[in-house]
Amino acid sequence: MREPVELRRQRILAVVESRGAVKVSALADELAVSVVTVRRDVEELARAGRLRRGHGVARPVRDPAGPPAVPAPRGGDPAGDGGAVALVVPERHSYLYETLHGARTVLEESGIRIALYLAPQSADAERPLVERALADGARGLLIAPRWRSVLSEELDYDWLADAGVPTVLMERRPRPGSTLHALDSVCSDHWYGTHLAVDHLVSLGHRRIVLAARDDSPTARTVRAAFAEIAAAHPEVDEWTVVLSSPDAVPGPGPSGARPVPGVPSGSRDDAPDLDLAALLRERGATAAVLHGDVDALMLVQRLAESGVQVPRDCSVVAYDDVVAALGSTPLTAVAPPRAEIGRAAAELLLHRLSGAAGAAGPVRRTQVLPELKVRGSAQAITPAMS
């Protein structure tokens, strides 16, 4: 005789409430029904507010150990269940590793266990890692997806919005109006960082400026669009140009795989396989350049030297990222996004969501933190010989 639906759902609730997060496949085996049946039951129970649903898992409305408490000091456990917070960042990404360490400091001081997942460079790499983390009982998620292209970013919106646990995006700002618009996020204000770079060069008398930037990350796309907007609106700037900083600085196999950057006129982009920055500076009569990111900036400065162009004597340079900009033979003035602070602020926001304190379930927060300009001498006032 087939088990009544309501009785089966009561059994699902009993298992979930006693054990915490349980895989849907494990529930199906235990109840001797199909995964499809259990998934449908879990969806209905979640809709009724009787449990929480994640990717492949069912969770109790409250953790088995009881309602979560306010984050505890070192050695404590805010939720009391030992569940980890999953940290998902791209592999071999020094910029975001500093963000990761900022988050780690806050979580460890609060006694939170951390599960680190490094996403490979393949497309759609984050989703299976998040699903694994949730299946393993992660109670919160801090994530900085790679998002090499606008398309790859948009493909992640729906599933990430439905993670089923408190989630905070780090150094990522989804498209306005998208399903991720209403997700907690902490991000550098890269428009302001770009403004700092342009304003510094203009204050030194530069009127023809080149931006050589990547086009394979949300930060790169924001910097490119911001530079175009700021330079075009700046009355002192006579001419500005946006070019690719390196041949591998675009998503996919090459520039043809990238979508146009909003706000960047297509005629201002250089899709040549490699960049001869010295020749471009001569062609445009440019006296200054903003270079993103740091490694590309240092390599381009080396190429300028090989072509007889000295920084800052012949060309002023401001780098964007400030991961290794200070280590070049010519230490580079650089825009420094607050990488570690982004991680700390994201972790604090996630802890607030997990705490159960007053206001923990309040409105979504989209926090922006302002970068700084680190002046090191790679940009100088324009001279008669440069003009």
Burial of 315 (0-12, 13-18, 19+ CB in 10 A): buried
Mean pLDDT confidence for 322-344: 94
pLDDT classification of 319: cutoffs 50, 70, 90: very high
pLDDT for residue 257: 35
Among all chains, which residue has been given the structure tokens 């001569």? 282
pTM, rounded to two decimals: 0.75
pLDDT classification of 9: cutoffs 50, 70, 90: confident
Residue 123 has pLDDT above 60, yes or no: yes
**Paired strand residues for 367:** 186
pLDDT for residue 76: 44
Residue 255 has pLDDT above 60, yes or no: no
Mean pLDDT confidence for 111-138: 91
pLDDT for residue 356: 78
pLDDT classification of 64: cutoffs 50, 70, 90: very low
pLDDT classification of 266: cutoffs 50, 70, 90: very low
Q: Cα-Cα-Cα-Cα dihedral of 224, 89, 56, 67, to 10°? A: -110
Distance CA(245)–CA(214), nearest Å, equals 6
372-374 and 333-336 beta bridge pairing: antiparallel
pLDDT for residue 32: 83
Distance CA(265)–CA(269), nearest Å, equals 7
Among all chains, which residue has been given the structure tokens 């790859």? 152
Mean pLDDT confidence for 27-45: 85
The phi and psi torsions of 257 (rounded to 5 degrees) equal -85, -5
Distance CA(237)–CA(235), nearest Å, equals 6
Dihedral sign, CA of 53, 59, 63, 69? negative
Alpha helices by DSSP H, listed for the chain, are 5-19, 24-31, 35-47, 94-109, 126-135, 150-161, 190-203, 218-233, 277-284, 294-306, 339-355
Are 75 and 108 spatial neighbours (Cβ–Cβ below 8 Å)?
no
Q: What share of the chain is helix, strand, coil (3-state, %, to 5)?
A: 40, 15, 45
Mean pLDDT confidence for 7-19: 80
Mean pLDDT confidence for 55-62: 78
Would you tell me the crossing angle of helices 190-203 and 218-233 to the nearest 10 degrees?
Answer: 40
Are 186 and 169 spatial neighbours (Cβ–Cβ below 8 Å)?
yes
Residue 256 has pLDDT above 60, yes or no: no
The phi and psi torsions of 198 (rounded to 5 degrees) equal -65, -45
Burial of 114 (0-12, 13-18, 19+ CB in 10 A): middle
Residue 62 has pLDDT above 70, yes or no: no
Residue 294 has pLDDT above 50, yes or no: yes
Q: What is the mean pLDDT of the chain?
A: 85
| Higher-confidence position of 63 and 170 | 170
Would you tell me the crossing angle of helices 35-47 and 5-19 to the nearest 10 degrees?
Answer: 80
pLDDT classification of 2: cutoffs 50, 70, 90: low
Burial of 126 (0-12, 13-18, 19+ CB in 10 A): buried
